Chains A and B, each alone.
Chain A
């Protein structure tokens, strides 16, 4: 097996989860940036949220342009961190459906593995609810593809995935998180631009389309941007509180260290 395990930093996991939970109407996707370590462990440090050009069900392919842009971003991260970063995988969501990859997903994964045998796939299944117990569920899985023994061309291989604790959120992951509202807005602006440029639309149609655009942008601000901004501000407030407490603790410890060092000095001075 090319990959023995995947280590996913918890702040990258946060970005993936938030992206997956942003909509239950369609699958979302992105790319994973990281490095392959000794013992064939793929370490994912951050993710890049992608736009989907084809929003049909189960069509989560990544265009060559997107892969190229992601590679450029990986190089930027490599410069920033001093570590050999590259695109190491992809993730996408399965709203309301099983976490297991479809045969299309397995084939897509196999295609990526032809370029890089360590390329991994992550799937986040969300918006699942047990109607009887009213329990909600989010699942995530990691997989690669291998040639099937018989029958279909490829089959899934399970790859163990561990979320690596990281209490503080990294700069790159924070920037990725706030990219989501910008990408959603751009998608809507592009769609509207295409519609608005159609010829022979009468004023009533144009007014309707403008209202649809306004409504959709308001939905994005209300459902995605607003809560994200609230979360950023709330976390900042919590950090400010933590900073005060940590500074007090540091002062206390400095005094304690000085006392311990002072007492050692006295011990040395005392006659034996």
Chain B
């Protein structure tokens, strides 16, 4: 069997770290995404046909719990109603795992986490789930250097194994080189054939049609990013304002109550 892999984008991993640095305590939540299992057959002269299953877990987003132990109790039993509440409008079938962030801790699952993991698999009827553990710590006594370690675990026959976490990035995608000069070819037939069809590729501004189209598509994506950014910014300010209001009201209530005889 091929080694399973977890894939996560840089922004989602950064967002997980961001969430943790904003709190004093450990953080946990659910992981949503897509898991794919593909059969791959390799044939070679030296050995018999090799069939292996490629497992890939794509993490697309995370939903944090407001507090620890929100969806399970002291013995690790999962409360499916609590899970549904955390998920809100998200679908149960999109849950591919859960995560926890523990400060200054080892990269090992605790017994309780293992129990919760197995029970979550049963509750969500998903035998293939991952647990992602993030453990930030200080690397130097001065606090000048900090480390965040992350790993994913899955259980096979109740044994937990580590799965590598791959951060999707531009470096993973092939980037062919531009040609700065044409290969010398003086064959008349070659020039004739390529010239005959070149107008199919080029538009009136001299650029390739594909280049014009992909530029337009990229511009459209940029516009969507700007639009989403503006909407998110408005909502961040509103959340901030409401949080301040709630804190102010709580303080006033405390003060009023303390004034009572």
- Could you tell me which A residues sit within 8 Å of B by CB distance? 10-11, 13-14, 17-18, 20-26, 95, 99, 126-127, 129, 133-143, 158-163, 165-171, 174-175, 177-178, 181-182, 184-185, 189, 191-192, 195-196, 198, 200-243, 246-247, 249-250, 253-254, 256-257, 260-261, 263-264, 267
Contacts and interface: CB of A to CB of B under 8 A. Distances in A.
A208 B18 contact: no
Contacts of B149: 135-137
Contact of A264 (B21, B162, B172, B256): B256
A240 B260 contact: no
A185 B231 CA distance: 23
Given A195-B180, A225-B222, 9 more contacts: A133-B151, A136-B150, A158-B145, A168-B236, A205-B183, A211-B210, A214-B210, A220-B218, A225-B225
Given A25-B171, A136-B167, A174-B232, A232 B225 contact: yes
A189 B214 CA distance: 11
A203 B253 contact: no
Given A14-B15, A95-B171, A207-B208, A158 B144 contact: yes
Contact of A220 (B170, B237, B261): B170
Given A160-B143, A185-B218, A13 B253 contact: no
Given A201-B182, A246-B246, A232 B229 contact: yes
Contacts, number: 304
Looking at chain B, what size class is its interface with the partner chain?
A: 35 or more
Contacts of B235: 236, 239-240, 243
Contact of B61 (A99, A159, A196, A230): A230
A207 B201 contact: yes
Given A137-B148, A243-B238, A260-B257, A202 B222 contact: no
Nearest to A184: B170
Given A185-B222, A217-B214, A191 B232 contact: no
A246 B243 CA distance: 7
Contact of A208 (B140, B179, B232): B179
B237 to A, nearest CB: 7
A225 B221 contact: yes
Nearest to B89: A237
Contact of B178 (A99, A127, A192, A263): A192
B9 A210 contact: no
Going nearest first, the 8 A-B pairs with the smallest beta carbon separation are A21-B10, A210-B208, A158-B144, A25-B171, A227-B9, A24-B171, A246-B242, A203-B198
Contacts of A223: 9, 168-170, 172-173
Contacts of A241: 88
A25 B167 CA distance: 13
29 contacts: A17-B14, A21-B167, A22-B10, A26-B171, A99-B145, A135-B149, A137-B150, A138-B148, A142-B144, A158-B145, A165-B21, A167-B22, A202-B191, A213-B178, A217-B215, A219-B175, A225-B218, A229-B225, A232-B228, A234-B61, A243-B239, A250-B242, A250-B246, A253-B246, A254-B249, A257-B256, A260-B253, A260-B256, A264-B260
Contacts of B63: 238
B256 A21 contact: no
Interface string B184-224: 01000001001100100110000110110011011001101
Contacts of A139: 139, 145-148
Contacts of A191: 178
A272 to B, nearest CB: 10
A165 B22 contact: yes
B48 interface: no
A20 B23 CA distance: 23
B210 A210 contact: yes
Contacts of A260: 253, 256-257, 260
Contact of A233 (B144, B191, B228): B228
A18 B182 contact: no
Contacts of A184: 170
Given A17-B14, A134-B164, A162 B143 contact: yes
Interface in B68-93: 88-89
